[in-house]
């Protein structure tokens, strides 16, 4: 009898312990509570993915919920729709040419002046910062920028490019020089409106100043937008490609040993250059910005992150000291012309954003598509 009482007692005690154990906190649930801190981030630059990964590694308690969109135009459309639906991300990448003004007008984003690290703020290139600035407010955190650049098929054009110092030289080259085995002498890629805006802003430019005159005047340009311009250039079928400094790595990779080529600055005054690039906007989802969102924004302002992103995307970091530094310049030691271009980009004056930026961009596209 005693034996059975001992067995019964053992069973009862074991059952009680099992019951009590069920009340023990679940570690997995505790981890989920920690990971509930998150940031929703939409972007179009693939290189951002690596920066997000590094952030999560350094801040394991914060989860970044990402969405990579094909290009900035599509992202802008989706951001406008998300704002209208009341469900925007916390942070989004945004291009500097147009798209930010409607978000400011709708009161959808925060000004970011108070979210800038002091060291980062002191090194911002003025020309690029202007693209996100209105009155005394900055509306996006600049990350990196690009400047218009000429990629030149050296074997075909030889000495001609030495005289390419003003925009007036462009039609002269096109009309007076014919080269065998190439489809065109000068062509522009899909950023065509950006190049025309530079020419429009030049004194004594062959492009006039009003929008109506500009659309009419573009017919005198002997280059035009060509969706295949970059592809044809790297295949040896083009003479001068009007493109962006951000295409350097791509051109280098695609040309390989096919032919000799070089880069040259855009043929206008250095101070007249208007950089184009990307920044981070912060949406007004809450009255008080969450700390995890602030941490991500501060993380992206670090010199190491700006350097990493710029090198991966072949862009210029939004940090004057970094652009001028020998370690950064040494990454392009085989491209001395490009190294000079990086330095001269800091002398640009730039241009403030306006409500008409998108309208102007679309008119320039129209001026090209309507030309026959």
Indicate the SS3 state at residue 71.
coil
Is 138:113 a contact under the CB 8 Å cutoff? yes
pLDDT at position 139: 98
The residues, ordered by sequence, that sit 6+ positions from 57 with a Cβ below 8 Å of its Cβ are: none
Please state, in angstroms and rounded to a whole number, the distance separating the CA atoms of residues 325 and 323: 6
Quick one: how far is CA 104 from the chain centroid?
19
pLDDT at position 17: 47
In Å, what is the CA distance from 12 to each residue of 5, 8, 18, 179?
A: 10, 6, 10, 97
- Nearest to 262, CA basis, from 172, 169, 336, 189: 336
pLDDT at position 276: 95
Indicate the SS3 state at residue 372.
coil
For Cα atoms 238, 179, 253, give the angle at the middle one, nearest 5 degrees: 25
Tens of pLDDT along the chain (372 residues) come to 555 545 555 555 455 545 444 544 454 444 444 445 899 999 999 999 999 999 999 999 999 999 999 999 999 999 999 999 999 999 999 999 999 999 999 999 999 999 999 999 999 999 999 999 988 899 999 999 999 998 988 876 655 555 555 555 555 555 555 566 677 777 888 888 898 888 776 654 444 445 455 555 544 444 566 788 999 999 998 888 989 999 999 999 999 999 999 898 887 888 889 999 999 999 998 878 889 999 999 999 999 999 999 999 999 999 999 999 999 999 999 999 899 999 999 999 999 999 999 988 888 777 666 554
The pTM is what? Answer: 0.83
Is 353:132 a contact under the CB 8 Å cutoff? yes
The residues, ordered by sequence, that sit 6+ positions from 228 with a Cβ below 8 Å of its Cβ are: none
Please state, in angstroms and rounded to a whole number, the distance separating the CA atoms of residues 14 and 12: 5
Indicate the SS3 state at residue 339.
helix
Is 270:348 a contact under the CB 8 Å cutoff? yes
- Nearest to 287, CA basis, from 76, 136, 107, 142: 107
In Å, what is the CA distance from 213 to each residue of 209, 220, 359?
A: 7, 12, 15
- Beta-bridge partner residues of 40: 65
Which helix (H) or strand (E) covers residue 261, if one does?
strand 261-265
């Amino acid at each position: 009898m005693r034996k059975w009482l001992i067995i019964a007692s053992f069973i009862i005690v074991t059952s009680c312990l099992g019951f009590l154990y069920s009340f023990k906190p679940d570690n997995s649930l505790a981890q989920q509570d920690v990971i509930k801190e998150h940031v929703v981030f939409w972007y179009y630059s693939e290189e951002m993915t690596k920066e997000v990964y590094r952030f999560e590694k350094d801040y394991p308690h914060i989860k970044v919920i990402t969405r990579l969109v094909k290009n900035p135009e599509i992202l802008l459309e989706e951001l406008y729709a998300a704002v209208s639906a009341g469900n925007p991300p916390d942070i989004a990448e945004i291009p500097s040419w147009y798209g930010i003004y409607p978000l400011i007008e709708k009161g959808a984003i925060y000004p970011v002046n108070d979210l800038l690290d002091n060291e980062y703020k002191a090194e911002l290139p003025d020309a690029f910062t202007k693209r996100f600035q209105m009155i005394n407010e900055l509306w996006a955190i600049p990350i990196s920028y690009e400047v218009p650049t000429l990629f030149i098929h050296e074997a075909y054009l030889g000495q001609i490019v030495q005289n390419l110092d003003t925009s007036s030289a462009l039609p002269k080259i096109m009309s007076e020089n014919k080269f065998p085995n190439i489809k065109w002498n000068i062509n522009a890629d899909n950023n065509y409106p950006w190049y025309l805006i530079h020419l429009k802003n030049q004194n004594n430019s062959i492009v006039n100043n009003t929008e109506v005159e500009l659309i009419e005047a573009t017919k005198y340009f002997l280059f035009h937008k060509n969706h295949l311009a970059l592809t044809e250039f790297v295949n040896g079928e083009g003479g001068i490609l009007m493109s962006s400094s951000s295409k350097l790595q791509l051109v280098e990779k695609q040309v390989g040993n096919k032919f000799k080529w070089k880069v040259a600055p855009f043929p206008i005054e250095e101070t007249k250059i208007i950089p184009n690039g990307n920044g981070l906007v912060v949406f007004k989802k809450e009255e008080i910005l969450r700390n995890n969102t602030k941490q991500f924004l501060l993380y992206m302002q670090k010199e190491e992150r700006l350097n990493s992103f710029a090198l991966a995307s072949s862009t210029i970091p939004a940090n004057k000291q970094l652009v001028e530094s020998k370690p950064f310049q040494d990454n392009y030691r085989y491209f001395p012309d490009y190294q000079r271009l990086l330095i001269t980009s800091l002398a640009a004056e730039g241009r403030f954003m306006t409500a008409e930026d998108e309208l102007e961009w679309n008119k320039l596209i129209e001026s090209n598509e309507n030309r026959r």
